Amino acid sequence: MMSRRMVKSAMWLVGGVLLLISPLSPAWAAAPPWERVEAVRAVLGGETPVPGGIRLDLPLVSQDGSAVPLTVEVESPMTVDDHVEAIHLFSTGNPTPEIAVIRLTPEAGRARVTMRVRLNESQSVVAVARTNTGRFHAVARDVRVTVSGCLARGNDFDDASFMLARVRAPDRFSPGQPGEVLTLINHPMETGLRQNGDGNLIPQRIIHRVVAEVNGSAVMEAELHRSVAANPYLRFFVAPTAGGTLAVRWDEDGGESTVQEVPLRLP
Amino acid sequence: MTRGRINRRQALKLMGAMGAGPFLAAGGRIPPAAAGGSAGRVVVVGGGFGGATLAKYLKRFDPAVEVTLVEPSRRHFTCPFSNLYLGGLYEFDALGHGYEELVRRYGVQVIHSMADDVDADARTVRLAGGETLSWDRLVLSPGIDIRWGELEGYTRAAAEKAPHAWQAGPQTHLLKKQLEAMEDGGTFILVAPENPFRCPPGPYERVAMVANYFKSHKPRSKILLLDAKDNFSKQGLFLDGWRHNYGEMIEWVGRSHDGGVVRVDADRLEVETEFGTLHQASVLNVVPPQRAGFIAQRAGVTDASGWVPVEPRTFASRKVPGVYVIGDATEAAPMPKSGFCANAQGKVTAAAIVADLAGVDGPDPSWANTCYSTVAPGYGISVAGVYGVREGHIAELAGGVSPADADAAFRRREAEYAVAWYRAITQDTWGTA
């Protein structure tokens, strides 16, 4: 049996070896978070993001990691010649890094999205935006996640509301001017990482796609991953040039889909 | 503890007994007291659970510290147990606590005035009357302010029609009067905010207490709780307790079921939710978005969130040297914004200040919290937590809630413990049970 001192030395040794070979070395730690996550580097494909032009809002401290509000906005004229094509959101502290990919067209009018995400622990959240001209913007924000003792939470999903969806658009749009659309769907967003009472993993079952179409053409398409909070809540912009219909469709892993339509009114 | 002065050596011993290992180890020589025999001047702003406790314990740890407490009210009416007043289980007058013990027994100077401004460079506080107080250390325990207008339509004027009753006093009376004037068969709507806010279990205890009043006086009435959150404190225990005591009277609508209120029309007692549903109330109680009390903003200790970041070990401001902030105004999560936490923070920060003035390291902090909620007469539930500092942050080291399957005798005992807790903590804070 090893003495406590020996155990301690052995741990130091292991720690020392790790320091040499692991990405915990100081130079690595000083790199921006988007250079430290393989999934983020894959999106960048070797490109260096231009400074600024993107904002990521998260609370400094969240008392409920199961649903942390997140807003990302990219400065962009959202014209055919110059617009944001995709915004990628990443967690650096969850079991899997991808949170969501939001694909936009110029008809969105404004590159701003609000949603609620799951954060397992205190960490950096990273947003990377790609424009149609091949430009990248990136930003990282630190969030401290605590679960307050007075906030111990229940874990029940109300099955009766499964796939119940809601959409709200502004009462009236000005032609070509962006207005914010709110969407919400009741879904447990089962991560695939949770055990049931018998200790077996509950299979992943999430809403994996949300598509918004204005008069039949896609304006926003969101690819969601397990780090999106239960009951996916998504706010985005549309800038219709004519009246008509906004249709939002949600697809989930169990093969179910639902569509909600709301009128778009212009003067 | 016997009455009268304790010397500095006794104070240090006392702090050692509180778990002040590093304090004694690092102790060394205690520097001589400041000129004039004073060990330093401390001004405390706010005489609630945090400020009153801190003032008392400063004098207990070191009577040579000059302590001045600035508090506008002659009696502080507590938010804890104000829900029991609404429910008909507690007298309003029993919620009021004065400052006689602090003055007479502990030698705290109490000034009944409002602190208007802080000059951190000159180390002064200006009072509403124009008077200026000098300090070596300043403690702010200002509680919360309402973010007027943050929720569309919810202004000071609106609160006169749709009370918040989240600061005990006239607002509590107004809500009670409205409930008494309501006809049987009416709808009471409570609007609950996003985190963080004062007293996380408060909205859920409040609807239970209103239900208790309705049950015996207006049994055909309904209660609707519209919530900006999907999870809340002691959720399972509250949902069970509501059903057990009040059947279907209370309906809770979480944010993912469109419970988030985005607009209040206080004249019509109407609220609009995120997805456009309108709800009409007979009595409308809005628990609005909040931030640190006014003087914290004047002192420059708040951050973009509106709350106050603090050093976890001492609750010293991270932004302004010499200033400490305790209680609901701080970002102390996972500690909740509760009276019990403010009381615990008052003691730990008093020890930290005495140590700081003496030029030595303060004790390792440990805080505890219990939130009792009364669901019905003889039916109580609780959550408890123990907190310390780990890796530079406040962390919950132990804790839990009442068992889900407890029997009636257990719930009855917790309701009794709630009353005993209230008497004990108000005795500890103000010397008035």
Position B70 scores a pLDDT of 98
Below-50 pLDDT ranges, chain B: 1-36
Instruction: Compute the half-sphere exposure of residue A1: CA atoms within 13 Å on the CB side of its CA.
Output: 2
Position B120 scores a pLDDT of 96
CA–CA gap between residue B222 and residue B235 (Å, rounded): 20
In a domain, A1, yes or no: no
Q: pTM value?
A: 0.89
- Which residue segment(s) compose the domain that A177 sits in? 30-264
In a domain, A251, yes or no: yes
In a domain, A7, yes or no: no
pLDDT tens figures, B388-421: 999 999 999 999 999 999 999 999 999 999 999 9
User: Residue B104, SS3?
Assistant: helix
In a domain, A22, yes or no: no
Position A32 scores a pLDDT of 84
Cα torsion B64, B432, B373, A62 to 10°: value is -20
Helical pair B339-358 and B49-61, crossing angle rounded to 10 deg: 30
With cut-offs at 50, 70 and 90, classify the pLDDT of residue A194: confident
- Per-residue pLDDT, averaged over A102-128, amounts to 96
What interface predicted TM-score (ipTM) does this complex get?
A: 0.85
Whether residue A186 and residue B256 make contact (CB cut-off 8 A), yes or no, is yes
Whole-Å CA distances, A204 to A79, A89, A96, A193, B126: 38, 20, 13, 7, 60
In a domain, A39, yes or no: yes
Position A7 scores a pLDDT of 36
Helical pair B408-430 and B339-358, crossing angle rounded to 10 deg: 40
User: Looking at the complex, does the CB of residue A151 fall below 8 Å from at least one CB of chain B?
Assistant: yes
Q: How far is A132 from chain B (nearest CA, A)?
A: 33
Tokens of A3: 């003495």
Q: What are phi and psi of B151, to 5 degrees?
A: -90, 120
Whether residue A148 and residue B334 make contact (CB cut-off 8 A), yes or no, is yes
Q: How far is A17 from chain B (nearest CA, A)?
A: 23
Position A197 scores a pLDDT of 84
User: Looking at the complex, does the CB of residue A166 fall below 8 Å from at least one CB of chain B?
Assistant: yes
Tokens of B307: 């709350």
Give Cβ neighbours of residue A249 (< 8 Å, ≥ 6 apart): A209, A210, A211, A213, A257, A258, A259
* DSSP calls for chain A: ---HHHHHHHHHHHHHHHHHHSTTSHHHHHS-HHHH-HHHHHHHTTPPPBSSSEEEE--SEES-TTSEEEEEEE-----SSS-EEEEEEEESSSSS-EEEEEEE-GGG-SEEEEEEE--SSSEEEEEEEEETTS-EEEEEEEEEE---GGG-------GGGTT-EEEE--S---TT--EEEEEEE----B-S--B-TTSPBPPPB-EEEEEEEETTEEEEEEEE-TTBPSS-EEEEEE--SS-EEEEEEEEETTS-EEEEEEEE---
Whether residue B200 and residue A148 make contact (CB cut-off 8 A), yes or no, is yes
CB burial of residue B248 (10 Å; 0-12, 13-18, 19+): exposed
Q: Answer with the residue of higher pLDDT: A61 or B423.
A: B423
Strand order across the B124-127 sheet: B115-119, B124-127, B132-134
Asked if residue B23 lies in contact with residue B15, where contact means CB atoms within 8 angstroms, the answer is: yes
Mutant choice from A60, A150, A164, A180 vs B, greatest count of B C-beta within 10 A: A150
Position A83 scores a pLDDT of 98
Of A59, A152, A233, the CB nearest to B233: A152
Mutant choice from A68, A114, A123, A148 vs B, greatest count of B C-beta within 10 A: A148
Asked if residue B395 lies in contact with residue B388, where contact means CB atoms within 8 angstroms, the answer is: yes
In a domain, A20, yes or no: no
Mutant choice from B197, B198, B231 vs A, greatest count of A C-beta within 10 A: B231
User: Looking at the complex, does the CB of residue A147 fall below 8 Å from at least one CB of chain B?
Assistant: yes
Bridge partners (DSSP) of residue A139 are A127
Closest A-chain CA to B238: A154
Ramachandran area for residue A15 (φ above 0: left; ψ -120 to 50: alpha; else beta):
alpha
Asked whether residue A264 carries a pLDDT value surpassing 60, the answer given is yes
Size of interface A-B (CB pairs under 8 A): 96
**CATH classification of the domain holding A104:** 2.60.40.10
Position B77 scores a pLDDT of 98
In a domain, A188, yes or no: yes
With cut-offs at 50, 70 and 90, classify the pLDDT of residue A29: low
- Per-residue pLDDT, averaged over A230-242, amounts to 97
CA–CA gap between residue B249 and residue B209 (Å, rounded): 12
Asked if residue B134 lies in contact with residue B123, where contact means CB atoms within 8 angstroms, the answer is: yes
User: Residue B61, SS3?
Assistant: helix
Q: What are phi and psi of A201, to 5 degrees?
A: -70, 135
- CA-based nearest residue to B408, from B377, B384, B373: B377
With cut-offs at 50, 70 and 90, classify the pLDDT of residue A148: low
Position A109 scores a pLDDT of 98
Q: Answer with the residue of higher pLDDT: B32 or A66.
A: A66
In a domain, A12, yes or no: no
User: Residue B391, SS3?
Assistant: coil
* DSSP calls for B288-351: --EEE-HHHHHHT---TTSSB-B-TTT-BBSSSTTEEE-GGGB--TTS-S-HHHHHHHHHHHHH
Whether residue B275 and residue A233 make contact (CB cut-off 8 A), yes or no, is no
pLDDT tens figures, B218-239: 999 999 999 999 999 899 999 9
In total, how many domains does chain A have? 1
Q: Which domains does chain B have, with CATH numbers?
A: 3-145+291-362 (3.50.50.60), 150-288 (3.50.50.60)
Least confident of A61-70, A123-132, B132-141: A61-70
